[in-house]
A = this chain, B = another copy of it.
Amino acid sequence: MFHRHMFRKAVILGTGMIGGSIALALKKHGLATQVVGMSRQEASIKTAVDMKIIDEGTTDPRKAIQGADLVILAAPVKVILAHIEDISKHLRRGCVVTDVGSSKAAIVDAAQKHFPPHVLFVGSHPMAGSEKSGVAHANADLFKGAVCIMTPTDKTSRAARDKVKQLWTLFGAHVKTMEPLQHDEALAYVSHLPHMMAFALVRAIPEDFLVYGAAGLMDTTRVAGSSSQMWADICASNYRHVAKAIDEAVKSLAEIRKAVVDRDEAALVQLFNQAKAKRELLEKKSHA
């Protein structure tokens, strides 16, 4: 187990809802003596300091990470990639680094390319959050009961793996391990695709008809309220898998459409039963 204040200086690059929640969780569990935040937005730092989510903040990533023994990359994927390049030569020996990016292959590749061997990096994806964003929604218990996928490779050190796993476990997450590419494929289906479907669905509805929307439509499109910028970033960083998942969904929809047009109720019942059975499996298996 960790000792209290295992990290002297923990740094969060990207103080949004997830980064802020990590800062709060580090403090709640007494894991860091000092928590420093970095954001490109001064206002975000001010809010985080005012809400006592971080001890201090800066807009300069290199300044933020000086002397850090834990660095969490919690910005959008594209920004994480830029941060990796920017800070790679300035991290102290033995510094533990992880990230929270929603796609992993690009980040893990960049980290393995740029970080020197004395930096203890492993990729993470805590599957927590909601359609809300911003540090004001930070919550120390955000990761309790959530799945966190870690993506070590054969280049990942045992120490990086163990320390980051302990961190997520102390935050209350269930840690699972996957290859970065396998993660990106799975997430394209279970997370990125549902968002694309929700965005596409609500866009397709003529505005005049929205007033007739009931609970089913509300549920089905809830995630369409998520941050456009964040989702553009996720899609761009995982475009191959996202496009493939969209293709599979369109194929599935085309099978249903054919049975609809044929008014083939037996075929429709069969298709819907397949969906229903998988939905029941999901209900059993998911940690939602």
List the B side residues contacting A263 at CB < 8 Å. Answer: 235-236, 239
Residues 268 to 287 of chain A near chain B (Cβ within 8 Å): 268-269, 271-276, 278-283, 285-287
If A147-B214, A216-B191, A287-B214 touch, does A203 touch B260 (CB 8 Å cutoff)? no
- Interface segment among A15-23, A151-159, A192-200: the answer is A192-200
Q: Which residue of B lies closest to A235 (CB)?
A: B260
Bound-state Cα–Cα, A214 to B102, Å: 13
| Contact mask for chain A residues 244-274; partner B; CB cutoff 8 A; 1 contact, 0 none | 0111111111111101110111101101111
If A225-B279, A246-B260, A256-B246 touch, does A265 touch B214 (CB 8 Å cutoff)? no
| Contact mask for chain A residues 33-60; partner B; CB cutoff 8 A; 1 contact, 0 none | 0000000000000000000000000000
Q: Which residue of B lies closest to A195 (CB)?
A: B216
Task: Count A interface residues, CB 8 Å.
Answer: 95
List the B side residues contacting A190 at CB < 8 Å. Answer: 205, 209-210, 212-214, 217
Q: Is the CB of A233 closer than 8 A to any CB of chain B?
A: yes
Q: How many copies does the complex hold?
A: 2
Contact indicator A246/B235 (Cβ below 8 Å): no
Majority secondary structure of chain A interface residues (helix, strand, loop or mixed) = helix
Contact indicator A252/B198 (Cβ below 8 Å): no
Q: Could you jot down 23 A-B contacts, CB within 8 Å?
A: A149-B212, A189-B209, A190-B210, A190-B213, A193-B204, A194-B217, A194-B221, A197-B200, A198-B275, A199-B256, A203-B274, A203-B278, A211-B285, A216-B223, A217-B286, A218-B282, A219-B220, A220-B222, A225-B276, A225-B283, A233-B265, A243-B260, A246-B256
Using a CB–CB distance below 8 Å, which chain A residues touch chain B?
127-128, 130, 146-147, 149, 176, 185-187, 189-191, 193-226, 228-229, 231-233, 235-236, 239, 242-243, 245-257, 259-261, 263-266, 268-269, 271-276, 278-283, 285-288
